[in-house]
Structure 1
Amino acid sequence: MPKLQRKKEEGNNGSPAWMVTFSDLMTLLLVFFVLLYSFSVMDIEKFEGFMSAFQAQLGVLDGGKTINDESLVARGNIAQRFNPSLQNFNKVMGEMSTYIEQEGLNDRVEMELTERGLVVRLTGQVLYDVGKAELKVGGKNLLDEIAKLLKDIPNDIMVEGHTDNWPINNADFPSNWELSTTRATNVVRYFMENTAIEPSRLMAAGYSEYRPLFENDTVEHRAKNRRIEIVILNTLHNTDLEGR
């Protein structure tokens, strides 16, 4: 009986040996994903969701350390140093936000950080009259301010035109395809002819009514869908290809 009792007591000492290997594996995985994160454009919502799920898995290990807010901020700073696009986006967003507040344009100009890059979204009424593609004077002033922020960063720029689903059919625009494309190219042409943005960085596209933000079921939603999106892309402009 004493011999059996001693074996039982020895079996309760410490965690199983495999836990050490498992702990090392979890640590290596954490380091791997943090490195991936530091070289990517930071998406706060996705990263926080990932970390919550990852920490839940690490919860099976007693005494494990969690990642606090300070460490997330530190890693964000590291990501900015390694990712020039993120630095450019933060600069544009900060200065553009100030301008939007000063001019009272909060309901007409929006910004969104996406996987493609930074989207500056301008409702159609800021730049154009309904059914028209000629830039309004106030719209030109807004484009001038945007150009000041974009001229010194190396990212490519895509200008995209969007309409609502209200049909148009006249001598100038047989359909919303022509209207959306003409609006986008007019913005690009304005940038080329009146600002210091390098023309080779600019692109234009029209999507007609087929990429709406909302259902076209109210006057307000239609107005939101009629828009120009200036997308500062993640890609940096390759000057080596110029002149080829």
Structure 2
Amino acid sequence: MAKRSKRHGNHEEHMDESWLIPYADLLTLLLALFIVLFASSKMDAKKFDQMVRSFDVALNGGIGIFNQPSPVPLDPSLPQQTLHMGKTDDDRDKSEEEKKLEEAVHKETEDLKKLQKRLEDYIQENDLGDKLQTQLTEEGLLITILDNALFDSGKADMKPEARKLAKEMAAMLVPHPKKVTVTGHTDNVPIHRADFPSNWDLSVKRSVNFLKVLLENGGLDPAKFSATGMGEYHPVASNDTPEGRAKNRRVEVAILRDLASPPKSTPPAPANP
């Protein structure tokens, strides 16, 4: 009995561990499966097939669970895409689209610069440098006209010379069929009149009247134009001085871009050592 117990004890000390081999193989196959699924999310069907075959060759010498012939050579035309995860077709298409967008944005900017040059020449020829200003921004071309160049104090009817300015500007806008906004601004001095109960009313009426003169040009599309009034609430200078209030009383004409600048690519963060 003692001998039997001893043999039985030895048997328990040396348990059969052969089950670890298929278990390890199963874990390896699961790892390979998840890697393939992750990679295939950014690859087309052809590249996915190449990836599956490459893993089969690497792990099983070409004999997989479906007993595929061993080994299966990779397509020589796709070595980088399959093994080294190079740029996919989607990445290349995206780069081409970004390049075309950058070219279109550049062309649009050049067109706006030409329009700005024409306006600057007109301002210089008519000695309007103290009344008109132009600025090229990310949103488009902004033209700022001080109110004394367009209207008499407290009024919204345009001066005769202001109508000439609006007509010249409209002619320049015809070759540039873009969206245009006309915005009226005032200072913070209260106004109480029957026709203009507030600065809101005055700023809106001035922008609308200027817009109407622009649209007398039949070459412009009214659907692309809009007018609004901001009253006294968007000053560009202090209202504490006469000079500041004069700058705040203005009409802004914005020729808006059709395209937005593409976002700049962010370099990848360095890997942690």
Question: TM-score of the superposition, structure 1-length normalised?
Answer: 0.63
The alpha-carbon deviation at position 112 of structure 1 amounts to 0.9
Q: Tell me which of 203, 207, 220 is aligned to 2:230.
A: 207
- For 1:39-118, what aligned pairs fall within 5 Å after superposition? 39=101, 79=103, 82-118=105-141
Q: Tell me which of 181, 187, 196 is aligned to 1:158.
A: 181
- Could you tell me which residue of structure 2 aligns to residue 229 of structure 1? 252
d(CA) in 2 for partners of 1:201, 1:99: 24
Q: Is the 8 A contact 2:187 2:246 kept in 1?
A: yes
Residue type of the partner of 2:118?
E
The alpha-carbon deviation at position 144 of structure 1 amounts to 1.2
> Which of 1 and 2 has greater Rg?
2
d(CA) in 1 for partners of 2:178, 2:161: 26
**SS of 1:179's equivalent?**
helix
The alpha-carbon deviation at position 158 of structure 1 amounts to 0.3
Say if 1:37 and 1:139 are closer, same or farther in 2 by CA, change over 3 A: farther
Percent identity of paired positions between Structure 1 and Structure 2: 38
Q: Tell me which of 149, 153, 158 is aligned to 2:172.
A: 149
d(CA) in 2 for partners of 1:38, 1:100: 35
The alpha-carbon deviation at position 36 of structure 1 amounts to 6.8
Higher relative contact order (CA 8 A, sep 6+): 1
Aligned-CA RMSD value: 2.3
**SS of 1:235's equivalent?**
coil
Unpaired runs of 5+ residues, structure 2, are 1-96, 260-273
CA-to-partner distance for each residue in 1:64-122, whole Å, 9 max, x for gaps? xxxxxxxxxxxxxxx5x554431321111111111111111111000111222110100
- Could you tell me which residue of structure 2 aligns to residue 186 of structure 1? 209
CA-to-partner distance for each residue in 1:175-225, whole Å, 9 max, x for gaps? 000000010111111122355322111100100000111011111111111
Aligned length: 165
**SS of 2:257's equivalent?**
strand
**SS of 1:193's equivalent?**
coil
- Could you tell me which residue of structure 1 aligns to residue 200 of structure 2? 177
Q: Tell me which of 153, 178, 196 is aligned to 1:130.
A: 153
d(CA) in 1 for partners of 2:228, 2:125: 30
Unpaired runs of 5+ residues, structure 1, are 1-34, 41-78, 237-244
